[in-house]
A = this chain, B = another copy of it.
């Protein structure tokens, strides 16, 4: 059995942010597996099989990829961003744990990528320059009260917060509910950043105060970053403000 499975992150968009290691995994595969929107971002190669599937079928997709690798295929599972951050790597290991014991001996490798919050932060300046957290706002996989409890913990402890999966057609109210809750815990002047389709032709960056933050500024391709009291705005001529979070805080305000 000479098969292997690599779980690869494409980064945010273009080839300039794809690592050589990830490009090699895409090129060396006999089979590519992934959400079809992400597969569409990979160049076609003669003789390479493509197995596209719909979103939210992660576990079935992971089992399929593992079964192909167990049969001797060289399989690359494609994620956007980094595969370990709210993406396919966790699903692959969940399938390994629940699957045939032979899958534990498979040659599996996770190939990291530029995750959305890093790409978004780079466009904005350095908003993740201080302690920060990443929360998936989806309540498909955890109860909404737990999402709110984590937002509260992060806000009160002074973390900058990156919100993945902020909104979708099936989850239309959660992001505004999150902003409403955050307004109870954070100053109204805290910057809230919306980075949509970063690295792509229709990229859009908006920064507003928490007082004016609303879900209408986001879509499925948006990464939202909520600042902390370490976050600063620098006005500049003819361009969007730079946003950064200071490395230091003078005192503990608790």
Contact = CB atoms under 8 A, between A and B. Distances in A.
A38 interface: no
Nearest to A253: B146
A43 to B, nearest CB: 15
Contact of A244 (B21, B94, B134, B245): B94
Nearest to A87: B129
Given A19-B17, A112-B17, A158-B150, A132 B134 contact: yes
A236 B105 contact: yes
A122 B93 CA distance: 12
A252 to B, nearest CB: 4
A175 interface: no
Interface in A19-34: 19-21, 24
A158 B146 contact: yes
Interface stretch (A135-143, A184-192, A201-209): A135-143
Nearest to A136: B131
A111 interface: yes
A83 B244 CA distance: 12
A91 interface: yes
Contacts of A92: 126
Q: What is the oligomeric copy number?
A: 2
A89 interface: yes
Size class of A's contact patch? 35 or more
A150 B122 contact: no
Contact of A234 (B104, B130, B153): B104
A246 B92 CA distance: 10
Contact of A157 (B18, B123, B125, B149): B149
Interface stretch (A46-54, A68-76, A113-121, A210-218): A113-121
A123 to B, nearest CB: 8
Nearest to A161: B133
A248 B141 contact: yes
A135 B131 contact: yes
A85 interface: yes
Contacts of A86: 129, 247
28 contacts: A15-B20, A17-B20, A17-B21, A20-B20, A83-B122, A83-B126, A84-B118, A84-B126, A85-B118, A86-B129, A89-B129, A90-B245, A93-B234, A96-B242, A104-B236, A110-B126, A112-B122, A113-B114, A113-B118, A131-B133, A131-B136, A142-B252, A143-B249, A146-B158, A146-B252, A149-B252, A153-B154, A154-B157
